[in-house]
Structure 1
Amino acid sequence: MNNNNLINNILVSNLIEDFNPQALAEGIAKRVRARRLELNLTQQALAKRSGVSLGSLQRFENQAEISIKSLLKLAVALNATAEFKQLFSVVNYQHIDEVIDSQRHKTRQRGRKND
């Protein structure tokens, strides 16, 4: 496979992951497993360190299924909480006009669209 095909495959793979919840979950599970192995931890050791059951950790690494609470426990145990702090974070303004414009609009308390 030449470099252009390899780059195209990587780009397509990233696009699929970006818009597919299952692919996103599988990517997270792979990264958790990689981090665990970087730290030279067994599944049992990580389960004990995090307070997540061994079965839940195994299911996550194999099937990418886990509760958000257990995922956060794993993140704490793997020292990876910074990534969660960025999730759904507020908008970073690039220009003062954006700040002024945001102040003109009230913060929504509820949505109106049902579709």
Structure 2
Amino acid sequence: MIQLEQKTASQIAREISGRIAKRRKELHFTQAELAARAGISFASYKRFEQKHEISFVSLIKIAIALNLENEFDSLFQKKQFLSIEELIADEKK
């Protein structure tokens, strides 16, 4: 999992696009093939690998095409409480 505390948005974007590119290559997809499978333009996908820029919806489409959509499940999860007291205290904030 990416540690967000000390990294910039650009660093995180670069890491994510690098991981996606690595997975694409492991599956022997060209950039054009993955773009087509994801339902996005080739230019958008190419920009993602080169400049690390893409819309969030397009990123989700790429993840689905690579069977990685479950990776989004851990993002922004609801807070887990160990006791009713913790829940009550959190609601008062």
Which runs of structure 1 show a deviation greater than 4 angstroms over 4 or more consecutive aligned residues? Answer: 14-18
SS in 2 for 1:19: coil
Q: For 1:22-65, what per-residue CA distance to the aligned partner results, in whole angstroms no more than 9, with x for missing partners?
A: 00000000000011111111111101110011111111001101
RMSD of Structure 2 on Structure 1 (CA): 2.2
- The TM-score normalised by the length of structure 1 is 0.69
Secondary structure class of the residue paired with 1:84? helix
Letter in 2 for 1:27: E
Identify unmatched segments of 5+ residues in structure 2. Answer: none
Equivalences for 1:10-89 in 2 at 5 Å? 18-89=6-77
**Percent same amino acid at aligned positions?**
40
For normalisation by structure 2, the TM-score amounts to 0.84
> Is residue 89 of structure 2 the alignment partner of residue 105 of structure 1?
no
The AA in structure 1 aligned to 2:21 is R
Structure 1, gaps ≥5 residues long: 1-13, 107-115
Give, in angstroms, the shift of residue 74 of structure 1: 0.3
Deviation track 1:51-87 (CA, whole Å, cap 9, x = no partner) reads 0111111110011011111111101101111121221
How many pairs are equivalent?
91
Cα 1:16–1:89 change in 2 (3 A) is closer
**One-letter code of the match for 1:30?**
G
